[in-house]
Amino acid sequence: MTSSFRSSSSSRYGFAFYSCRYGKNKLQQTLVCCYKSNLQSSALIGKTCSFLPSYSQSSFSSSTRKSQPQENDATARTLHMQVTSTEELKKAVGYKAVDDHIQSGMVVGLGTGSTAYYAVERLGQKIKNGQVVDIVAIPTSTKTEQQAKSWGIPLVTLDTHPALDVAIDGADEVDSQLNLVKGRGGALLREKMVEVEARKLVIIVDESKLVSGLGITGAMPVEVTPFCWKRTMRRLLDIEAFQGCQVSAKLRQENDQIYITDNHNYIVDLFFQKPIPDLMLAARQLIDIVGVVEHGLFLNMADICIVSGKDGIRVIEKK
């Protein structure tokens, strides 16, 4: 394990970055820690602290702040900087993704969902404040499009801008290889169309989304045509790749009505009692079914995953 440290004379805090490469999956995990600049760096070895965002802590609600720590109490200072609510953790990773990966002149893909919401918000703030310029963005849903317009973010389409510099989005499940389940928010088709064209896909999640195998925490969505959807759903249950997974299927509804996607299709949610063993085979067999428009397996697409948790933020990069 290697470590490096930096501190600024204009700040009372510095950062410690611990990096390690592990296993055959060639993932590099970075733990981001904060510490008092006047402490010995060796005091932090083996400890994980919370991420100190590059933006002002005043952007979080004051209800999460701890009582003022003692001047020489590094542990208390770390707790002081922590964010504890689910929404604040989502906000932290959404803001960090934009701060770290979006620069002036980029074409950006804007994801959909409760975590991606904060990435759109942060980008809108930075455009409004003039911190980034000459940005255009492609939204992955009508909901994201409306939010982006409310911030004055210039929008384009894949027809005019077929190559993206970066896309930022959430995920429903993330495995150790950064394979994903996405689409429980209903935007899987547009998300995949946009994000497959991005040079870099940054995923932002909380630690509850990290899984040992895909398909076990909830629905794996499949977008299907309304025409003969029952026939398509029966075919989904017969897929060879799902044998042994104890799969079941349900047509998605909302407010006692069939859920309609932005593309005027239906969604069949698949549920598994055991993880999908062969993801690539499953992806091929899903898309081969006539009537399937797209599925929620996003394989070999993510490059970086920013993960929030009660102890702070960590970054996982695929190598």
Q: Which of 168, 195, 196, 169 is nearest to 184 (CA)?
A: 169
- Give yes or no for a contact between 30 and 315, defined as CB atoms under 8 angstroms apart: yes
Residue for token pair 């600049």: 37
**Where is 236: in which H helix or E strand?**
helix 229-237
What pLDDT was estimated at residue 213? 97
Q: Is the dihedral of CA 170, 171, 175, 178 positive or negative?
A: negative
Tens place of pLDDT per residue across the chain (319 aa): 443 333 333 332 233 333 333 333 444 444 443 322 333 332 322 333 333 333 333 333 333 333 333 333 322 222 223 556 888 899 999 999 999 999 999 999 999 999 999 999 999 999 999 999 999 999 999 999 999 999 999 999 999 999 999 999 999 999 999 999 999 999 999 999 999 999 999 999 999 999 999 999 999 999 999 999 999 999 999 999 999 999 999 999 999 999 999 999 999 999 999 999 999 999 999 999 999 999 999 999 999 999 998 888 999 998 7
- CA-CA distance, 276 to 278, in Å (whole number)? 6
Task: Identify the CATH number of the domain defined by range 220-298.
Answer: 3.30.70.260
Collapse the DSSP code of 109 into the 3-class scheme (helix H, G, I; strand E, B; otherwise coil) and give the result: strand
What pLDDT was estimated at residue 85? 82
What pLDDT was estimated at residue 270? 98
The residues spanned by each domain of the chain are: 2-82, 87-202, 220-298
Strand 201-206 and strand 220-224: pairing? unpaired
Active site annotation includes 207: no
Largest CA distance in the chain: 68
- CA-CA distance, 93 to 225, in Å (whole number)? 35
Active-site option among 173, 191, 195, 294: 191
- Give yes or no for a contact between 52 and 315, defined as CB atoms under 8 angstroms apart: no
What pLDDT was estimated at residue 86? 83
Beta bridge partner(s), residue 167: 109, 201
Collapse the DSSP code of 287 into the 3-class scheme (helix H, G, I; strand E, B; otherwise coil) and give the result: helix
Collapse the DSSP code of 246 into the 3-class scheme (helix H, G, I; strand E, B; otherwise coil) and give the result: coil
Q: Which of 158, 160, 272 is nearest to 213 (CA)?
A: 272
Q: Into which CATH architecture does domain 87-202 fall?
A: 3-Layer(aba) Sandwich (3.40)
Residue for token pair 């255009």: 136
- CA-CA distance, 303 to 92, in Å (whole number)? 19
What pLDDT was estimated at residue 75? 24
- Give yes or no for a contact between 203 and 302, defined as CB atoms under 8 angstroms apart: yes
pTM for the model stands at: 0.76
- CA-CA distance, 205 to 215, in Å (whole number)? 16
DSSP-assigned letters across all residues of 23-58: TTTTEEEEEEEEEETTS-GGGGTT-------SS-GG
Cα–chain center distance at 41: 31
